[in-house]
């Protein structure tokens, strides 16, 4: 990362926000979960937290939004910690699928396990591994601690909205059961998955989570180890290869920061050993990634030299 003064970093962030705002009209908020369709598409915020404890925030950083698919990183981390990598990766793969996040064709036709834990089929399978070992309250507590945000709760309206429009995820869950991948109750896996997606966070909570991954699982604030280094390494690598849906390859080339997106408009980005970045921008591109968030990350990667291979 380029060495810049506090003032210069703030200027870069302001400019990133300006660049991001320009493309908001080119995207759309998600509407397949009706509650997400009610959100103001013009909201945009970014928070950076550094390993030294500096925090930089611009835009709508205090607005709460649902974490959606970004929760898949938390569930994967917890599953790896509680079940071990052998059990996790005998249930779910670690290859990009090249298909949309809610696809089931590749699972139905080509494979006896979901391609990776960042797509819905993989994440629902991961939840089924967690169920015998941790309850939703345990998962909520893990999330609060990982994000250093004790205010995180479930957004009931979004949860109810998604549960009443969940035919596709239910179909995925039943397909998983038909292939003997889910061995616990199908509804339990669906409910835990949807609850995890409905947790409400801010860009700051995501930046804290990203920094925890960046620091190999040791809380930069307390020095306490919350996640093993091995688990963080696996999660970050899978974020890099699979975190931006079927746009992951291009994003890795152009931006080169391991990132996970969610259809709520969040982005979780890890600059290894340096920074955590959290973004909120609910206007999405055709693949489901925050359209302004991607532009802002590209701008930051160029200006601050954050590409993994820069
Ligand atoms: N809860 C959403 C779903 O399952 C998450 C999708 C996403 O953020 O990619 O459709």
In a domain, 74, yes or no: yes
Q: 148 and 293: one domain? A: no
CATH of the domain at 11: 3.40.710.10
pLDDT level of residue 111 (50, 70, 90 thresholds)? confident
In a domain, 288, yes or no: yes
Least confident of 53-67, 99-113, 152-166, 281-295: 99-113
Q: 83 and 56: one domain? A: no
Q: Is 102 in the pocket of ligand 1 (CB under 6 A)?
A: yes
In a domain, 1, yes or no: no
CA-closest residue to ligand 1 atom 2? 68
Predicted confidence at residue 152, as pLDDT, reads 98
Predicted confidence at residue 2, as pLDDT, reads 80
Question: Which of 32, 39, 68 to probe ligand 1 with, by most ligand atoms within 8 A of CB?
Answer: 68
Predicted confidence at residue 110, as pLDDT, reads 73
Q: 231 and 295: one domain? A: yes
Q: What average pLDDT does the segment 112-126 reach?
A: 93
pLDDT at residue 126 greater than cutoff 90 = yes
pLDDT level of residue 104 (50, 70, 90 thresholds)? confident
In a domain, 75, yes or no: yes
Predicted confidence at residue 217, as pLDDT, reads 98
Q: 161 and 262: one domain? A: no
Q: Measured in whole angstroms, how far is the alpha carbon of residue 150 from the centre of its chain? A: 18
pLDDT level of residue 297 (50, 70, 90 thresholds)? very high
Q: 108 and 181: one domain? A: yes
Atom of ligand 1 nearest to the CA of 123: 4
For residues 201 and 102, which has the higher predicted lDDT (pLDDT)?
201
Q: What average pLDDT does the segment 125-145 reach?
A: 97
pLDDT level of residue 4 (50, 70, 90 thresholds)? confident
pLDDT at residue 300 greater than cutoff 90 = yes
CA of 159 to the centre of ligand 1 (A): 11
Q: So which residues are the catalytic ones?
A: 69, 72, 193, 245, 263
Structurally, how many domains does the chain consist of?
2
**Residues of the domain holding 91:** 69-197
pLDDT level of residue 25 (50, 70, 90 thresholds)? very high
Q: What average pLDDT does the segment 69-79 reach?
A: 98
pLDDT at residue 142 greater than cutoff 90 = yes
Predicted confidence at residue 102, as pLDDT, reads 76
Q: 83 and 193: one domain? A: yes
Q: What average pLDDT does the segment 215-226 reach?
A: 96
Question: Taking all residues of the chain, what is their mean pLDDT, rounded to a whole number?
Answer: 95
Q: 43 and 142: one domain? A: no
CA-closest residue to ligand 1 atom 4? 120
Q: What average pLDDT does the segment 28-49 reach?
A: 97
CA of 248 to the centre of ligand 1 (A): 16
Q: 247 and 299: one domain? A: yes
Q: 186 and 285: one domain? A: no
Q: 29 and 61: one domain? A: yes
Q: 52 and 128: one domain? A: no
Atom of ligand 1 nearest to the CA of 245: 9
In a domain, 142, yes or no: yes
Q: Is 20 in the pocket of ligand 1 (CB under 6 A)?
A: no
Predicted confidence at residue 101, as pLDDT, reads 75
Atom of ligand 1 nearest to the CA of 162: 1
Q: 88 and 187: one domain? A: yes
CA of 72 to the centre of ligand 1 (A): 9
In a domain, 42, yes or no: yes
Predicted confidence at residue 225, as pLDDT, reads 98
pLDDT at residue 107 greater than cutoff 80 = no
CA of 262 to the centre of ligand 1 (A): 7
For residue range 238-255, list pLDDT tens digits in order: 999 999 988 999 999 999
In a domain, 310, yes or no: no
Predicted confidence at residue 172, as pLDDT, reads 93
């Amino acid at each position: 990362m380029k060495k810049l003064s506090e003032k210069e970093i703030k200027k870069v962030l302001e400019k990133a926000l300006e660049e991001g705002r320009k493309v908001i009209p080119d995207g759309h908020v998600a509407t397949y979960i009706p509650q997400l369709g009610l959100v103001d598409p013009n909201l945009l915020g970014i928070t950076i937290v550094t390993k030294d404890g500096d925090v930089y925030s611009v835009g709508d950083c205090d607005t709460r939004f649902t974490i959606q698919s970004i929760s898949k990183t938390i569930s994967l981390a917890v599953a790896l910690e509680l079940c071990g990598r052998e059990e996790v990766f005998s249930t779910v793969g670690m290859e990009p699928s090249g298909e949309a996040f809610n696809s089931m064709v590749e699972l139905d036709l080509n494979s006896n396990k979901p391609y990776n834990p960042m797509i819905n089929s993989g994440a629902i399978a991961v939840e089924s591994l967690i169920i015998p070992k941790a309850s939703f309250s345990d998962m909520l507590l893990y999330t609060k601690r990982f994000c250093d945000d004790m205010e995180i709760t479930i957004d009931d309206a979004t949860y109810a909205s998604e549960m009443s429009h969940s035919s596709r995820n239910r179909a995925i869950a039943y397909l998983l059961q038909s292939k003997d991948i889910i061995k616990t109750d199908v509804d339990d896996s669906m409910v835990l998955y949807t609850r995890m997606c409905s947790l409400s966070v801010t860009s700051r909570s995501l930046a804290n989570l990203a920094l925890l991954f960046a620091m190999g699982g040791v809380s930069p604030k307390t020095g306490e180890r919350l996640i093993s280094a091995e688990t963080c390494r696996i999660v970050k690598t899978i974020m890099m290869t699979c975190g931006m849906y079927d746009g992951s390859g291009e994003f890795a080339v152009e931006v080169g920061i391991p990132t996970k997106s969610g259809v709520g408009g969040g982005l979780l980005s890890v600059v290894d050993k340096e920074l955590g970045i959290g973004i909120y921008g609910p206007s999405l591109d055709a693949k489901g990634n925050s359209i302004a968030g991607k532009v802002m990350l590209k701008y930051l990667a160029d200006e601050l030299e954050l590409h993994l291979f820069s």
